[in-house]
Amino acid sequence: MKMVIKIAITGLFMLMFWGICSAGDFTFRKTKWGMTEDEVKASEPLETAEENERYLAYKTSVIGKDVFVVYFFIDNQLTRARYVLADSHSNKNDFITDYEDFKAILIKKYGNPVQDDSIWKNDLYKDDYSDWGTAISIGHLVYFSNWKTNDTEISNMLMGENYDLSCIVEYCSINFKEIEKKAQDKKALDEF
Amino acid sequence: MNFEEIIMSKNVTIILLSVFMLYGCSNVPSTEEIDGDLKTVETEIKDAQETVQEYSGGLLAILANVRLQTLKTTKSMLEQKKNGFRRYIPLSYSIDGKEYTPPKDKDVLLQTLNDDLKSLRQDLAKAEEESSKYGGGLLGVLSLTQVATVENSIAFLNQKRLLLKHDIPYYEIVPAPSTDGDPDFKSTPGEDINKF
């Protein structure tokens, strides 16, 4: 009888330990890959800004910046998530500061990036730093840095097109990559 | 004094009192100020109506109509106040359940409005002078637009002045609080690092 009680108590402690360890084991904010839309909604204390069967979007603020949080789903499974900067600046160079701020917090959490680079596709503004923001906005310059964990690829990007800049921090599930690719291929085929 | 004289003097007193009372009741309060202002507004309405008839459509017609409607509103509110006076109907205005009381610095505000109107009338004179240089064309239309815009500003400001002068509350259009449920950018509880 004593043996049974001992086993039961040990089992209970093991369950509690597992519960405590796994409670904070989130991938992005309070979510894990594969969660359903309803589960993601339940995890967010925010009001939904936009939603459909492919994504859920919220407005929030992180590290003092206004951002959209977007969760992407395939077959009602969370496969990808993003922070998209919603702030605007009259001086486009200020977006570089935003990019660096995001990079700094990602380094703090995930360590040094596996890739950290900026690429000049066109050198027109390269010699004048004050025009680098403009260079990004017209696609001449791109900033990016990447991190990798066991199940997630994280990318920090600053890019632009048609004088619009986008600063994005993206989280992508490694395990769901294949499913995402299949869904993309199917969508491409359906369009033909 | 004999009895007949006493009766006569009493009758005279009653008649005199009645005349006084009737005179008092028929004494309509003076609406001279409102009448004067109404006359000015009516003249401006006629002018605005002529301008509206000049244009069949387009921006100038819209601007002229805005001015006309503003003037008509001013006239209606002044007439309401005037009729209230004449018919002994005390008019009181309530805003959000609270009775409207004229601002304590009414005179200062009126002076400021008068100064602003004076400045706008100078702008109008300049705009009209500029407009008279063009017989037509794009520059002519642009200068007429400038005249119409200043005229509208005068109509708005004058409405504000007249309503303040006659203790009528001025209703301003204020943006309604957002009801579309569009959430703002709010931070969520917890440390920022845990959100990455």
Residue B36 reports pLDDT greater than 70: yes
Q: Which of residues 78-97 of A touch B (CB under 8 A)?
A: 86
Distance CA(A69)–CA(A55), nearest Å, equals 10
- pLDDT band of residue B9 (cuts 50, 70, 90) is confident
Complex ipTM above 0.85?
no
pLDDT of residue B181: 55
A62 inside 8 A of chain B by CB: yes
Please judge whether B196 and A66 are an interchain contact, meaning their C-beta atoms are less than 8 angstroms apart: no
Nearest residue on chain A to B186, judged by CA atoms? A60
Per-residue pLDDT tens listing for chain A (192 residues)? 677 777 766 665 555 544 444 445 789 999 999 999 999 999 999 999 999 989 999 999 999 999 999 999 999 999 999 999 999 998 999 999 999 999 999 999 999 999 999 999 999 999 999 999 999 999 999 999 999 999 999 999 999 999 999 999 999 999 999 998 888 888 888 877
User: Once rounded to an integer, what is the mean pLDDT over residues B110-138?
Assistant: 87
| Interface mutation target, options A25, A60, A70, A152, chain B, most CBs of B under 10 Å | A60
- A65 → chain B, closest CA residue: B185
In terms of DSSP H, where are the helices of A68-130? 94-110
Nearest Cβ partner for A61 among B181, B182, B186: B186
* Nearest CA among A184, A102, A178 for reference residue A144: A102
Task: Please tell me the pTM assigned to this model.
Answer: 0.51
- Backbone phi and psi for residue A50, each to the nearest 5 degrees, phi listed first: -160, 145
Domain ranges of chain A: 28-190
pLDDT of residue B93: 78
Residue B182 has pLDDT above 80, yes or no: no
pLDDT at B24 over 60: no
pLDDT in tens, B95-111: 767 778 888 888 888 99
Cβ-based contacts under 8 A for chains A and B: 40
**Closest alpha carbon to B34 in B1, B74, B78:** B78
* pLDDT level of residue B179 (50, 70, 90 thresholds): low
* In the predicted structure, residue B7 carries a pLDDT above the cut 70: no
- Residue B176 is predicted with a pLDDT of 59
End-to-end CA distance of chain A: give it in Å, rounded: 70
Greater pLDDT, B124 or B96? B124
* B183 → closest Cβ in A59, A106, A169: A59
